[in-house]
Amino acid sequence: MRLKWMLLLVAAIATTAGAQDRKTERLTKMEQRLEFVTRFASEPKSSVPFARSYDFEPLGRHTLLLYESMNRAYLVEIEDFCPDLPTAMAIGVENKTSTLNAKFDALRIGGRSCQILQIRPVDVKAMKAAQKAEREAAKAAKATD
């Protein structure tokens, strides 16, 4: 009986360690993606035209890539106390006009209203071209191995 409980305890610890490893790996990938996206972001703006949210990509604990359309995106930094961002499946944009304003508008994430601190337009066309070039270079390198 004691052995059974010890085996269950070991299994629980192993499961927890595996989950922590996956979380760390996901956050590392987000940080790498944030570094990549930042290369294509312009200077922060106090406000940008914004009609509707098309898609989003979490890039860490308080940064995301917010798409207005396939070809228009913004690197958005929000308040630190919105811990659900890295795992969010959906977000809402809380803006009262057809603009997105830093320090006035917010994103709804996991039931919380998270104030937008900074908005940086992203050159999506250049970013997609760089992604394509990286994929092709990786494919070429793999073919020569």
- Which pLDDT does position 79 carry in this prediction? 92
- Which pLDDT does position 4 carry in this prediction? 61
Closest by CA to 63, choosing from 25, 104, 31, is 31
Which portions of the chain are predicted below pLDDT 50? none
pTM for the model stands at 0.80
**For the chain, which residues make up each domain, given as ranges?**
8-144
CB 63 within 8 A of CB 37: no
How many CB atoms are located within 10 Å of the residue 107 CB?
25
